[in-house]
Amino acid sequence: LHHLLFWDKIKYMLEYTREQLWQQFLPLFYPKSIAIVGVSHNPLKIGTLWLKGIIDAGFPGRIFPVNPRGGEIFGLKILPSLRDIPEIVDYVIVTIPRENVSGLLDDCAAKNVKAVHFFTAGFGELNDVAGYRLESILLEKARHGGFRIIGPNCIGVYCPEARVPYGPAGKIGKSGSVGFISQSGGIGEKLVELGFARGIHYNKGISFGNGIDLDSADFLQYMGVDPAVSVIGMYIEGTRDGRRLLKAMTTVAPVKPIVALKAGRTETGAVAARSHTGSLTSAAAIWSAMFRQCGVIEVHNIDEMADSLLIFQFLREWDGRGIAIIGGLIDGGGGISVTAGDVCAEHGLDVMPLTLETQQELSQLLGRVGSILHNPVDVSQANGNPAIIKKALELVINDPNIDLTIIQEDIGILHKYLPEVIVSEINAMFIDLKAKYHKPMVMVLPPGLAEAERGQIEQEFNKASIPVFPSMERAAKAIANLKYYSSFKQGLRNYND
């Protein structure tokens, strides 16, 4: 019911109907054919790299390399012009210098293409008359030609489901449910890379650079109605129309979580943004207030963005409250308990006391000497015995005060004291408990002296839908963001009831 309610709201508040959004964005994210303008015989040329990336990614549609000089590459005929393409072209990637771009757009209009993506830079971000004039020519030709522009000065579309890779390096990951909208191609690339490293699986992403036509508000509206996208990360330097973005955020945020990183918050950052995407930034406080008003989760750096996308990928909403912290799987649980307790409390999480019953049972299991048993729980007195750690964990997970369990595993210290089979047994046990009790579990695996093992275990937890963070601080912040969004939704429900 609530879902339908919000759906009605979305229909009402978006500028376009769902059908219009599909019509505009499907050829862009799921193109039937792609033309790449600026391919040459030089394998290191950017257009050629782009072509190779799309072929290597296994893009199933037609691919048309374009260069006035013609020729052949990777077994494909290079066509002299877009007009020579014998079929319909959905998506055009432009890598030629800005001087040659204007004529190309007439070809796009003639070919009736749907979207033109300009990797080419050298427009408004140069802050000179020539750059702005070029942008207005582009925009005018797009309006008359009936196609949309992505960019200029960007990496464009990423859609693993459609086998469209991110950028000329041809990166493509497993398709998932996370979306990103990034004004910066480099930040998009970083998000894709962190996706591989952290197990964040994207459904689609976009880097739109100067955003002279399609802007963050457009992509946000589309991702808002795209059922394949469950959470949206946004990297914003500025926008040409704050009111549109506000409206889009207000409409989409109640339906799916939006995690936003506003860059150019400071004078230093703002000057850089001016040269980067030609963005005029405004006061950081205004943006923060707008995010709060819309229920958008604001983050302050790319790591926090990745952390939040990761947790929302697995735990889209969370109705709970009480958090348990487990540390000292083999040693060092005391300091971890104190510092983790501080960090979680400072981020506004409720580290709830365990019931007296649980505390008594833990005391019988672990003994009082050397143990910390109220929560945080130091299980080091189990001396690395997987059966005892398991019993302790089950007591905590099933405590009525506990809705989410954070486990800190110092993998370097574990490997120092325990044989590898025991470490594996302990990790398999966590995964079993997660599957058995269906209560949210979050792992903290700090970097240290067993990096290869840590990477492998992180992947195993990812497969089991257990998010992994490199520090208690970052886990706490991500859970706090999850809690923030859940409270926002709860508030909306109370309002609507």
Please report, as residue ranges, which positions from 117 to 136 form the binding site for a second copy (by CB under 8 A): 121-122, 126
Residue 237 binds a second copy (CB under 8 A): yes
**Distance in Å from the first CA to the final CA of the chain:** 11
Binding mask 284-323 for a second copy (x = CB under 8 A): ----------------xxxx--------------------
Q: Please, which residues bridge with residue 460 across strands? A: none
Q: C-beta of 333: minimal distance to a second copy in Å?
A: 6
Residue 173 binds a second copy (CB under 8 A): no
125 touches 22 (CB < 8 A): no
Residue 57 binds a second copy (CB under 8 A): no
Residue 272 binds a second copy (CB under 8 A): yes
Residue 276 binds a second copy (CB under 8 A): yes
30 touches 159 (CB < 8 A): yes
Residue 267 binds a second copy (CB under 8 A): yes
Within 419-478, which residues bind a second copy (CB under 8 A)?
446-449, 451-452, 455, 470-473
Q: What is the bridge-based pairing of β-strands 76-77 and 72-73?
A: antiparallel
Give, as one character, the DSSP assignment of residue 166.
Answer: B
Residue 373 binds a second copy (CB under 8 A): yes
Q: Is the peptide bond before 152 cis (omega within 30 degrees of 0)?
A: yes
Within 186-225, which residues bind a second copy (CB under 8 A)?
186-190, 193-194, 196-197
- What does the angle CA 92 – CA 97 – CA 100 come to, to the nearest 5 degrees? 80
- Between 176 and 328, CB nearer to a second copy: 328
Q: Provide the sign of the torsion angle of the four alpha carbons 286, 288, 294, 296, taken in this order.
A: positive
Residue 85 binds a second copy (CB under 8 A): no
Q: C-beta of 183: minimal distance to a second copy in Å?
A: 8
Q: C-beta of 166: minimal distance to a second copy in Å?
A: 11
Q: Which stretch binds a second copy (CB under 8 A): 54-62, 86-94, 290-298, 324-332?
A: 324-332
The DSSP code sequence of 28-60 is HHS-SEEEEET--S-TTSHHHHHHHHHHHTT--
Residues in Cβ contact with 74 at an 8 Å cutoff, skipping those fewer than 6 apart? 51, 52, 55
Q: Binding residue for a second copy (CB under 8 A) from 74, 334, 365, 429?
A: 334
Query: Look-up: residue for tokens 């966590």?
Result: 430
Q: C-beta of 252: minimal distance to a second copy in Å?
A: 23
Taking Cα atoms as reference points, which of 163, 56, 84, 62 lies closest to residue 48? 56
Residue 345 binds a second copy (CB under 8 A): yes
Q: Which stretch binds a second copy (CB under 8 A): 27-35, 242-250, 326-334, 485-493?
A: 326-334
